[in-house]
Structure 1
Amino acid sequence: MKVPLLTWLAAAALLLLAASPCSGQSVRVSGPVSPEGAPEVDRLRRWIAEDLIGAGVPVRDGAPEEIAGIGRIEGHKIVVEIERRGAGSVGAVATFSRYVRPAPEEILDLFSRLRFELANGRRELLAARSELPEQAKPLLHASTRADPAWAWPWLRLAELQRRQGDLGSALEAARRAVELDPSLGAARNELGVIHLLAGRSDEAAAAFDAGIAADPGFPENYHNLSVVLREKIETERALELARKAVEIRPDYHQAWHSIGSCLYVDGKLAESLEPFRKAVELEPDFHAARVMLGTALFDLARYGESERVFRELLARRENDFAGHYYLGRILARSEEKERLEEGLAHFERFLADGGDDERVKGWIEETRKKLGR
C-alpha cells in the first residue's frame, strides 16, 4: 500500500474517541494488518497512547477505564473498533469501518485534515495540513446518513462547502453540527467563519463568543473573534483574546500575528516586532506576518533590518507588491548609484505588476533626478 497507516488509523481511532461517550487513561492498538502496514503499527500504538495520556484524558463516572482501539485492514476498508473496559464489563461501543467505504487512498487527505479535540479539549491533534479533497464530499454525505446524530461529518462538510464557495450549504451544515453538539467549539468557529466570509461580522462575533463559552479550550474562536474586533478598532479586547489563543496553543502562528497587528494598530511599533517575528519563526511561509514585520521596522526607521526582511520576502515571492514597494522606498533613500538603480527597478516592477499608488510615480521621478536622468 502506498499510503502509511499511521495517519488514517490514528485519525480514525481518535475521531471515534472524541465522538463517543467513553474515555480512559490508556490505549492499545492491535489486531491483524496487511504486511505493508505492519511497520506502522508500533508507531501508531505509541502515538495514540502518548497523546491521549499526555492530554490527560479524564476518567468519567468515577470508574477507571481502558479504551482499546483495534485497527485492521479488510480489503479496501479500515476497521477500527473502540472498546470500553471498566467496572467488569467489556464491549465494543463504536466501529469505524462504515465510514471507510472508499479505498484508503481516496480518504487519506480527508482524514489528514481532520482535527480531533479530546474530551477535555485542551490539545489539538492535527495529522497534516492538506485541504479537504473534492472526493471527500460523497464520503461526508454518507457519514451524515449513516450516523445522523454525529456532529463531526456535518462540520467537515461545512468546511468543504465553504472552501468551494457554497456558503449557503456550508451555513446549513455548520448549524446542524452546532445543533448536534452545542459544546463543539470547532463547529461554532466554522459557523463564525462562514458568517464572516458572507460579510456578517456581528453574527460572526456572536458565533465566536458562543464558541468560547461552549469550549474555552478551543483557541480558534479566541483568535477569530480577535480578528473581528481588531477590524472594528476594538484593539484592547482583541489583544486580550489573541494572547489567550497563544496561551492555549503556543505555536498558533496566526494568533501571534494578531497580537503584533493589535500592537501595531495601537502605535506600539517596537512591541509589535517580537510577535511578528514569532509568527514568521513558527511559519516561515506566513506572508502577512513577514510583510508586517518589515513594515513595522520601516516605520521605526530601522531600514537595514526592514530591507533584509523584504529581500527574504521577495526571495520567496518575486512578484510581491509589498516587497517591491518597500525595497523601492528603502533603496531610493541612498546616494549610491547601484542602490538607486535597484530602487528604481523595484518601483517600476511595483507598477508593472498592477500596483496602485500615485506616490510611487513621484518617487520614480525623484529617483531618476538623483541618477541625473
Structure 2
Amino acid sequence: MAPPVAPAAGATKADVRDQSALEQRLGQSTSVIMPLLELGAIGYVTWVLAYQICIQYLIDPSAEFRQGFNVQPRRATGIALIVVYAVLLLLLLVPWSRLIQVIWSKPDLVPLGDTSLEKKEVTTSWLGEYDAYICDYEGMPLWCDKCHNWKPDRTHHCKELGRCVRKMDHYCPWAGGIIAETTHKFFLQFVFFGSLYTAYVWIVTAVFLDERISKTGSCPGTWIGVLVVGVLFCIFTFTMSCMTGWNLCINYTSVEGIQRGGVQNIAFLIASTPERSSLPSTPSAQDKPQSHDDWPVLNTIQRGQGRTYVVMQTKPHEHPWYTSLVVGWKDVMGNNIVDWLTPIKHSPYKQRSHRGEFEWGELVYDMAKQYEVHNPGVKLALLN
C-alpha cells in the first residue's frame, strides 16, 4: 500500500477532503480496470497457447510446415497440453472469482461512527467482551479520526476505501480490492495458482518457440509476447506467494510488517485483587527501576461497571499475535490440505473467544504472568 500523500502547505480542509475523495475514486477504479486487463491477457494467452501452438503447430501443422520443415502432427501432445492448461486456468479462476465475490460483499469494513457524537461519547461497551485488547496509554482502544470510531485490534484505515478495515493486509487492484481478514486465504490461493499457471505458460511457449526457431527460422511476435507476459507474471505471483505465505505463518499483515519495530500497548482486565477496595498502583519514576527484561507497566485504570485494567507495553520488534508457524498458517488457511486448496471457507478459522479479538501469542501470556508475579494476589482475567 502506498504511503499517504501529505497535503500541500496552506491546503484547506476542503482541499484535503477533495484529495482524499480523488484517491478513493482512483483506487477503486484501478480495482475494476486491472482485473479486466488481466482477463484480456488471459484471453490473449489462451488464443496463442491453445490455438496457435497446440492446434496450428502441434495437432494440425500447415502443409508448408509439414513439407518444407518436416513438422509432423503431434496430436496427443497438443491435446494433453490443452487439458493441463485448462485445469490450471480453472484452478486460477475459481479462487479469484471467490476472492472478488467476498471483496464486494465488504465483510471486513468497520462501521462508520456518528459524527454528531464527541469521541468520549462513542460507546466502548464491546470491550467488555475481552480480557485484553490493544490500547493507548490511557487504556482506550485506538481511535480513527476519519471514520470517527474506535478501531478493533489489528484494524487499519484504508485510504482507497476511506474506511477502517479489520486485519487489513493491503489494497490490491490486481486482485480486485482489499485484502484483509476474510480474503487473505483466497488471495494466497489466487497468487499461488497464478504462479503455477504462468510458469506453465512460459515453459510451454519457450520450449516450442525454441523448436520452431531451430526448425523453421521463424519467430512469431505473438509467441514472444506470451513468453514475456508469462515470465513477468510468474516472477510477480511467485514472489507474492512466498511473501504472503510467510506472513501468514508468522501472523503478520503487510501493514504490521511495515510497522515492525514499534511497540504495542495492551490493556489487561484485572479479575481480582487481594482487597476489592484497592487498586494496584501504577509505577512512578520514584519506584524501584524495573529489570531490563521486564515489560513496562504504563497505567492502571478503572472503567465502568467496576472493571479495572492494567496497561503494559511490549518491547520493540515484539509481535503480540505470533504463536507458531503452523498455527499461524492454519488460522488463515484451515486445518487440512483440502481447506488449503479449495476456496470454500474463508478465513479466519480460529474462533474468537473472550480472551481477545485474535488469538494472543505466548508473549502476551508471559506479560500477564510477569504482572501477577510482581503483584502478588492480583489475578488477570487472561490467565484465569
Report the TM-score range of the alignment, normalised by the length of the smaller protein: under 0.3
Higher relative contact order (CA 8 A, sep 6+): 2
Task: With the length of structure 2 as denominator, give the TM-score of the two structures.
Answer: 0.21
Task: With the length of structure 1 as denominator, give the TM-score of the two structures.
Answer: 0.22
Larger Rg: 2
